[in-house]
């Protein structure tokens, strides 16, 4: 897996479930270009255990992201029908009912592969048959993408390790502070803390283009 930080986020068009139950066939992050920052995160599978805790945690914090102009989008390698079915199951029964942000169906596994989070490998054998090794599902990848479609932050966890939604919000705050003020954010920076003037040429180059 290689880092996407500083690079254009891979473009895709895929089916997704939006607004908690509506299936759309041609969802793309490109709709947010020039308008919104995006938190795009992968989770391994529907109808599992750690995954619903993360999906509900992002939903609980959705107003915090929206107040910052940030769109939250989830993705797994399950089908859109599987996503829809899980959305009908109440939270107290292990479901994700109440989640309203889009959930993308990466059934071809090409989105997970493009973002570098597909667990497993596939190849053609001597007879031309496609063979796969590993679970062929997504690690817990998270990407903060700016309005230009550039990945500014990347985090990838192994399957058992759930993510910290507050840290995702902190990274949004840090990015937006940098974009608005041209100052860089030190370790453990929180919104309202002092920042620092940049001394790295790469920062100045970035600011000169935005």
Q: What is the pLDDT of residue 16?
A: 98
Q: What is the pLDDT of residue 96?
A: 98
Q: Give yes or no: 185 in active site.
A: no
pTM, entire model:
0.91
- Model confidence pLDDT, tens digit, residues 155-189: 999 999 999 999 999 999 999 999 999 999 999 99
Distances (CA, A) of 49 to 99, 118, 120, 137: 16, 19, 21, 15
> All domains of the chain, ordered by start, with CATH?
14-162 (3.40.30.10), 164-210 (no CATH)
Q: Which of 15, 29, 51, 151 is catalytic?
A: 51
- Which pLDDT band, with edges at 50, 70 and 90, does 43 fall under? very high
DSSP state of 11: P
- Which pLDDT band, with edges at 50, 70 and 90, does 200 fall under? low
Helix runs in 135-164, H state only: none
- Model confidence pLDDT, tens digit, residues 68-120: 999 999 999 999 999 999 999 999 999 999 999 999 999 999 999 999 999 98
Asked whether 6 and 86 are in contact (CB, 8 A), the reply is no
- Please check the confidence at residue 201 and state whether its pLDDT lies above 70: no
Compute how many other C-beta atoms are within 10 angstroms of the C-beta atom of residue 51.
Answer: 21
Mean pLDDT (the chain, rounded): 93
Interatomic CA distance for residues 61 and 163, integer angstroms = 13
Number of H helices and E strands in the chain, helices first, is 6, 9
Look at residue 32 and give its three-state secondary structure: helix
List beta partners, residue 145: 38, 151
- Please check the confidence at residue 205 and state whether its pLDDT lies above 80: no
Residue ranges of E strands in the chain: 14-18, 22-27, 37-42, 70-76, 103-105, 118-124, 130-138, 140-145, 151-157
């Amino acid at each position: 897996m290689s880092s996407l930080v500083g690079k254009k986020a891979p473009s895709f068009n895929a089916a997704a479930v939006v607004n908690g139950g509506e299936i759309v066939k041609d969802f793309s992050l490109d709709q947010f270009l020039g308008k919104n920052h995006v938190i795009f995160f992968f989770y391994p599978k529907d109808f599992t255990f750690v995954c619903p805790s993360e999906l509900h945690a992002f939903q609980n914090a959705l107003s915090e992201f929206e107040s910052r102009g940030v769109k939250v989008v989830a993705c797994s390698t399950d089908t859109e029908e599987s996503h829809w079915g899980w959305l009908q199951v109440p939270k107290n029964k292990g479901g994700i009912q109440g989640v309203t942000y889009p959930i993308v169906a990466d059934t071809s596994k090409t989105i997970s592969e493009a973002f570098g989070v597909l667990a497993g490998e596939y190849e053609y054998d001597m007879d031309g048959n496609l063979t796969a090794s590993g679970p062929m599902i997504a690690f817990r990848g998270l990407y903060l993408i700016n309005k230009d479609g550039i990945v500014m932050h990347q985090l990838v966890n192994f399957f058992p390790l759930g993510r910290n939604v507050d840290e995702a919000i902190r990274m949004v705050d840090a990015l937006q502070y940098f974009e608005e003020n041209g100052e860089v954010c030190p370790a453990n920076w929180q919104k309202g803390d002092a920042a620092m003037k940049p001394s790295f040429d790469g920062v100045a180059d970035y600011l000169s283009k935005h």
